Amino acid sequence: MASHLSRALTIALLLTRDLVSGQALKIDSDDSIISTAKTLAQNVMTYYHGNESGQTPGILPGPPPAGDYYWWEGGALWGTMIDYWHYTGDTTYNDVVTQAMLWQVGPNKDYMPPNVTASLGNDDQGFWGMSAMLAAEVNFPDPPSDQPQWLALAQAVFNTQADPARHDSTCGGGLRWQIPFSNNGYDYKNSIANGCFFNLGARLARYLNNQTYADWAEKTWDWVQSVGFMDGDYRIYDGAHVETNCTDINKAQFSYNNAVYLLGAAYMFNYTDGDSKWESRVNGLLDATLRDFFRNDVAYEIACEEHMTCTTDMLSFKGYLHRWMTTMTQIAPFTAQKVLPVLQKSAQAAVNQCTGPPDGKTCGFEWSSGTFDNSVGAGQTMNVLGAVSSLLVGSAKPPVTNATGGTSAGDPNAGSDSDSFTNTPAPITSGDRAGAGILTALVLASAAGTFAWMSLGA
């Protein structure tokens, strides 16, 4: 495993070392990568105010119209910061991350806090669950013993999503986008909701050496293919409505869809000891991801970047793409030589455009342009932080299991007391409905002619 990673990283560094002499942010050595990652971590945390007096721990400012960010992106931020700690060893933000992750667990310790039910999707819950799973896999410091534990939280999210109540017969199965039936989007089944569930199942199967999780992962992959959300060329489409039996497929493609399935498939390859079926799936999806989401080896969001119609959500997808493809190279090492040089070049393009005010190190979104584009925010900074910190993968320990040093305590019954949301409407206020309606109208208008339906939350 080490030889694959070290060889690919050496090649990647040689390709870019002579391009960075004038850069404020440099990534031409491990020391410069750590320094740049530290700067980016400081910058991204300026968007977070949950640890300040009177603010809510765990969330970025929002949801709209109160701020730019939906609840799920807070969970995504903490995954990014956990990876930052894992790769750099910098413990500066660990206490903040732990407080944030625990504050949002909800009364049933399943990442379904009542105050977010108005826009609570399976994908939103799934992102928090995947960050908890990451914490277990990299041995992020365990919470106090009287608090929920990382592995148990990931199991709670998975168990609530495996509940038969969430897998109805419409479209032949699969998770809906939204969880409460009264939410806008409950009539939609999409790739990201099912992708988070697939991803968690694959990772729990490996961590716990438990076939039940693997069976769910395999069943989910098969359903996504059978319903047409993933085609024969490994293009992954957004989703479809249940009233059409999922035949009105919205063919918008987003990089985080490819990334979440790619990482899950790599975990299944690892769990099955290199099963040729999963090797083929990893290869096919990897080639499609490089084909569709990298232009000249630089990450590119094809659904929205050309005309910059990206929503706040979409402006964070490149970071997950980089982070999850990097982890893939650790658990499916045959991918390293193909992937790591591309990620190195893409990361170099990312830092090249981080020249914005006020410090000359602020990052934008359009990496391939080579210049700062004035598109700033938590997502844009998370993207570059994820891309840069992941470059240290060669010296990072691969994800552990409970048999290889994992310390997080699990609970196979976690989530058993959770609210199914099947009998009572979710507590949506008129303000929530108005805000969601206005946002949906704006997004659909800006993306007119590109796609007819857009998943707004994760």
Residue for token digits 């047409």?
228
Whether pTM > 0.85 for this model: the answer is yes
CA pair distance 371, 363, nearest whole angstrom: 10
Q: Which two tokens stand for residue 228?
A: 């047409």
Q: Which CB contacts under 8 angstroms, 24+ apart, belong to 426-431?
A: 426/117, 426/118, 426/120, 426/180, 426/181, 426/182, 426/183, 427/114, 427/117, 427/118, 428/117, 428/118, 428/180, 428/182, 428/183, 429/118
State pLDDT tens for residues 328-385: 999 999 999 999 999 999 999 999 999 999 999 999 999 999 999 999 999 999 999 9
Q: Which two tokens stand for residue 458?
A: 């994760």
Neighbouring C-beta atoms of residue 271, cutoff 10 Å: 24
What sign does the dihedral 351-238-220-113 (CA atoms) show?
Answer: positive
CA pair distance 380, 351, nearest whole angstrom: 11
Length of the chain, in residues: 458
Q: What is the pLDDT of residue 133?
A: 99
State pLDDT tens for residues 422-432: 644 444 344 43
State pLDDT tens for residues 6-37: 555 555 544 444 333 345 899 999 999 999 99
CA pair distance 400, 345, nearest whole angstrom: 28
State pLDDT tens for residues 303-312: 999 999 999 9
Which amino acid does the sequence have at 449?
A: G
Strands (E), 68-208: 188-190
